[in-house]
Copies of this chain bind each other. A is one copy, B any other.
C-alpha cells in the first residue's frame, strides 16, 4: 500500500479506481451503468465522489468490470 493512502477517503479511492478501471476497458459511463444495471447518471456521480455508494452497488460495479470490490479500494 502506498504511504499516505489514509488521507484519501475510501469514497474517493473507489471513485478514482472505478474511473481508471472503466477507461482501461474503454467503456462509457452509460455502458458500465447498463452492465451493472444501474441508472445512467449514477456512475458519473460515483466517479465524481458525490455518491455515498452502498456496498451492494459497489459490488455490482466491480462485478460489471470483472473485478473484486477490494480492487476498487486500493490506495491511489
Query: Which of B1, B9, B62 is A59 in contact with, Cβ under 8 Å?
Result: B9
Interface size range on A against B: 20 to 34
Q: Is the interface of A mostly helix, strand, loop or mixed?
A: helix
A32–B59 CA distance with the chains assembled, in angstroms? 25
Residue of B nearest to A14 (CB): B55
Task: Give Cα A55 to B52, complex, Å.
Answer: 6
Least Cβ–Cβ distance between A15 and chain B, in angstroms: 10
Q: Is A22 an interface residue (CB 8 A)?
A: no
Q: Contact check, B59 vs A70: say whether CB atoms are below 8 A apart.
A: no
A14 to B9, CA, bound (A): 17
Asked whether A74 is an interface residue with its Cβ less than 8 Å from the other chain, the reply is yes
